[in-house]
Amino acid sequence: MRRPLIGLTSYSQHVQYNGSNQEVGMLPIAYVRAVHATGGRAVLVTPDDPGVDVLESLDGILFAGGGDIDPATYRAARHPATEADQPRDTAELMLMRAALDMGLPVLGVCRGMQVMAVATGGSLHQHLPDVVGHERHRAAPGTDPLAADAADFGRHEVVVQEHSAAFALLGSRLTVNSFHHQAVDDPGTFTVSGWCPDDRVPEIMEHREHAFALGVQWHPERTGDLRVYAALAEAAARRSGLHFPEQQQERRAA
């Protein structure tokens, strides 16, 4: 039986390829590998020619990390540090609202969690250092903040709300990496169920009216802890009546 098909939102960018400058649809391969490692089959959803019809072919969807969301989408003036990707905003806000309406299993990672908030009427802090007074939520360039030899910059704890879906999946506390300068202010129709204990910045959101709609502010695909990816694949398989191999459940206990 086929694997659950998981859409991954992506972005377009001009790159040098085969000696010429080309616009390409792209996403770090770590997302794809995380989906495959936890039992799903990944397919990229590019921001060009946006439409919700693609959701009809998917069993679940992951909204990936990336650039800032245009503050005009939540009726705010632009901060000097904000660099928006308007075509991607248009596509992803449309897809997020439609996926939630359909009850499609949804996972938001970093920017993807912020899209969840904005798509349901919430808002963002455009430049987190202005709010919390430090830049520890951004990792040092070129480092993997959860590697054994990495500096502490870009790594922090997350406390999880008891009796939440996130608590059942992740436990009461975990260490995460950190790559963002924006953060959720108003979560919209989502509920914040995890936060950084040092400054109360939201790190996990969930929607309690959906079988699986979870957002995390960190990048689990760059760590060995793929429990949220496994939960997405399992929810996608369950929704579509697909067999979910027992060996994939092992990722739930990273």
The residues that are catalytic are 110, 219, 221
β-bridge pairing 5-9 and 60-63: parallel
Report the C-alpha gap between 82 and 71 in whole angstroms. 8
Burial 212-245 (b: 16+ CB within 10 A, else e): bbbbbbbbbbbbebbbbbbbbbbbbbbbeebebe
